Structure 1
Amino acid sequence: MATEAFEEIVGDFEFLEDWEDRYRHVIELGKAMDPLDDALKVPATKVDGCASQVWLHIAPAGDRFHFDGDSDAMIVRGLIAVLRALYNDVPVRDVPGIDAQAELARLDLQDHLSSQRSNGLKAMIQRIRDTAAAA
């Protein structure tokens, strides 16, 4: 089950018919995020497998999942914002059960991202799932 924040993004995408408008919207979501503190941009938070620099700082708050992230690529910052909407504030035990590919398919992202961006997105999702499973 998707979060209310993710459902809002799905609704926005349904309203935006043109993919270029959707792409711009993803970038705007990334611009709206607070930047990750430079002290958190360390090898332990860096996500390998991404074409750009990507950092995910995962810090569950109690039994709720939470992460922040950043990237040097605006579209990737936007993808991080989408993933935050999908995962943040979900019970940690529920995170591994979220079918991110199915949820993201509702946004029709796969057909509009380069293979490198798609691989990076998969790497971010895997980091999220692995960290939640280990918590």
Structure 2
Amino acid sequence: MIISEIQQEIIDEFNSFDDWQQRYEYIIELGKSLKGMKAENKTEDKLIQGCQSQVWLDVTKNDDKLFFDADSDAILPKGILALLVKIYSGQPITDILKSDENFIQKIGLQEFLSPTRANGLVAMIKKIKYYAIVYSIKHE
């Protein structure tokens, strides 16, 4: 499935909830389903700066597609990571670079988050795009 279709699926899921409490619970459930990372992979270079909690993001490349592993020591950021991994993992590098993040506004996520958590969300997306840029340059 392409990025925009996955984003639309997430928008539809969020629109099916009556209130933010249900959306919040959904994000937490997503976080619980995130595979996480092995302790030895939670290194300083994989730590995302700008997040209130500790958040790690790792990437591997296979056939011009990026695959993300992510983890956090807090359940809400872990749920947000699960959303982002669902969208971007397994996608072609060029598609990641061309994608937009309008789905965040469409699901109202930034209004729901505290300013520090919203900054963390931006930092997570920037890190995903950063990895895509690095791998597009490395492997041209």
Question: TM tier, shorter chain?
Answer: over 0.9
The alignment-based identity, stated in percent, is 36
Secondary structure in structure 1 of the residue aligned to 2:65: coil
Instruction: Name the structure 1 match of 2:97.
Output: 96
Q: How many residue pairs get matched? A: 134
Contact 2:4–2:99, Cα closer than 8 Å, also in 1:
no
Deviation at 1:4, TM superposition (A): 4.4
Equivalent residues in 2 for 1:71-90 (5 A)? 71-90=72-91
Contact 1:6–1:85, Cα closer than 8 Å, also in 2:
no
For 1:21-40, what per-residue CA distance to the aligned partner results, in whole angstroms no more than 9, with x for missing partners?
Answer: 00110110010111211111
For 1:39-73, what per-residue CA distance to the aligned partner results, in whole angstroms no more than 9, with x for missing partners?
Answer: 11001111111000000011122211210100011
Select the structure that is richer in strand.
Answer: 2
Establish whether residue 23 from structure 1 lines up as the match of residue 14 from structure 2.
no
Equivalent residues in 2 for 1:11-50 (5 A)? 11-50=12-51
Secondary structure in structure 2 of the residue aligned to 1:59: strand
TM-score, L = length of structure 2: 0.89
Where structure 1 has 5 or more consecutive residues not aligned to the other structure, the ranges are none
CA distance in 2: counterparts of 1:126 and 1:19, whole angstroms: 25
Deviation at 1:9, TM superposition (A): 2.4
Q: Which moved more, 1:7-16 or 1:50-59?
A: 7-16
Contact 1:3–1:87, Cα closer than 8 Å, also in 2:
no
Could you tell me which amino acid in structure 2 is paired with residue 121 of structure 1?
Answer: L
TM-score, L = length of structure 1: 0.92
Where structure 2 has 5 or more consecutive residues not aligned to the other structure, the ranges are 136-140
CA distance in 2: counterparts of 1:121 and 1:130, whole angstroms: 14
Select the structure that is richer in helix.
Answer: 2
CA distance in 1: counterparts of 2:34 and 2:8, whole angstroms: 18
Deviation at 1:3, TM superposition (A): 4.9
Q: Which moved more, 1:2-11 or 1:21-30?
A: 2-11
- For the aligned residue pairs, the C-alpha RMSD in angstroms reads 1.4
